[in-house]
Structure 1
Amino acid sequence: MTSDARNPRARILGTGRSLPAAPESAAPSDAPPADSAPGDASAGNERRGAAPGETTSDLAARAARAALDAAGIGPRDLEMIILATSTGDAPMPATAVYVQQKLGAELIPSFDLSASLTGFLYGLSVANQFVTAGTMKHVLVIGADLLSHRLDPRDRASAALFGDGAGAVVVGPADGEGRGILSVSLRADGRKADVLQVPGGGSAEPLTPERLADRRHYLRVNQLELRQAAEERLAAQALAALVTAGLAPADLDWVIPHHADAELTALLAERLGCPRQRVLGAFDGGSPAGASAGSVAMALDEALRDGRIQPGQHVLLCALGGGLTWGSAVLRA
């Protein structure tokens, strides 16, 4: 899953992001207290949740329009839409077709991809393959989630970790100046599938009144195991992606992980041997800390638009989420 580091064949042409329209309402006052996650920098901050009637495809379409504008192309120039999400508008059809409809794109392949917080990187890898092979010229990749719809209002710790938002990129041919996608490295471990999951609502557990009463339709997180996995996997996978790209940690200018956890960020910086201030996250600016599949793309868009990421700089993207899935991508901006 790599291009020649000196001559990448695909690059990100434009980026965009979108937040929900309205601030999320506070948790019910009768909800039992829960401890915040260790080192969670976002605990206690106001989170932006979806307005009534707002859907995942609404967020995804807004982020997509911003990415298309940045790339200087229109919806009818697209040849594929990939939407990474765990909170689609409906179980069927794929939410990507609603995005296609809202954008006014042609009758192009449009599909969803489910890999939790790592979903955007999975989608980026698919787009990279199509563009690198010369099969397609413009592929839209979106990471979008409305996790506020999956959070148990009694679980304040999870509410502090996960939010709503969307990020999008347009992937197209590289320009021959060395800028582009240098490598993408992905992994999954199904033995840890229950660490982060929504157990009810699928073929294994169709929703019944009893399962609804047992709150099986809400997100369930083993925060200790999830954190341990992130500590063990993120840096190791990032180093592997760097090797594939023909780079060393010292070559990195920026690192964008999937979450805003201050302790995890510091650990990642230490293991990569880079200054803490070079590790960005979706906590910067107005982005929610854990917009799942949208987090990395949102932070990338923010850092490109405010000028922190400059042309020619090396950027590492990394994420870990349900599955468990994890991965990294290395870009030359």
Structure 2
Amino acid sequence: MSLSFNFPRPTAKADDLEDLYKAYRVDRSVILDLAGTHETPKTVREGYYEAYLSFFNSCGLIFPIPEPILEILAELGLSLTQILPNFLRYLIAFLVRAREEGLSFGLSEFRQLVLVKRNQQNPGTFLVSLRPGCHVIEDIPYRDEKWREQFFVFKMDRASMGEFDFSRLPRRWAENIAPSGSSSMSDEIRGLIGILRRDRSNWSTFDQARIRAVFAMPEGTDRAPLFRGSEDEAEHSQERRPPVSLSPGLGDETIAATRKRCRSSEGALPGSSLPRFVPEGDGSLFAAQSGLIFLTGRMRSAGCRLPSLVSSVEKEAYAKVAVASSKVRLLPYFP
């Protein structure tokens, strides 16, 4: 069955392409051009490829186009203009977060996090929606206006596509793609989601500088550790995690989060690298524990061995000794 797609006349102008060079730091070695009279996102002149302006000004795409993006498109058998901006944003966001964590991320992981769907309004194009429990990035826009009209072409060479073998990319639009497979969440994907959620990012933080810096790094090769909890725990573990804890075997993730908050606060204090403490009168055991949490983070960061607090009695005794020896209640104070 042939595709029925009403291609609008492209609205991209020469000034728009010049803006890509200047505002979006596209190197002049990348040859950009306006679409010809008879060119559409489906049919392009030999030696050239196609894209939408919105991919660069609102989706974070850069030149040369990162190889992982081209690799996933080639494996899906999709042309760049067959994916909606929503598709590209999720793909870039997941790839960036995975690289920041040093993890391997490809088509298999992507398709277990999202459902690839045919766009009924524009036949032959595809969008994605998150699978249940796979929410990692906040506020990724779902819809775009007039993205189809912002069409242009660029020459396929090393400047635009790096070392990728662009002959692998389809020259014709795919009519169908393989189904996404099982909707059940594997332990590997639960582990991946848990790691990607360490930095619960908002889409607005994925600026060009961050994306360029990440794709300039070597691709990660590690695999996410297996997550042995339930799907519900994987989905809500971020929200359930208490801000502080004195439980046995205090988790490194909680400590890392505590350190991060402390560093952020310290950075806001001119001329001071350490938090100040305020003395107070006799207080509750909980207050002493709050001070101990801060000290625990300091001890870990300095490489000190922490005491093993196995029982609640030991925890209480440790807290009382700290209060008695210091004569004050230690509380991190950041004005």
Q: Same fold (TM over 0.5)?
A: no
Higher fraction of helix: 2
Task: Answer 1 or 2: which has greater strand percent.
Answer: 1
TM-score by length of 1: 0.25
Q: Which has the larger radius of gyration?
A: 2
Name the TM-score, length of structure 2 as normaliser: 0.25
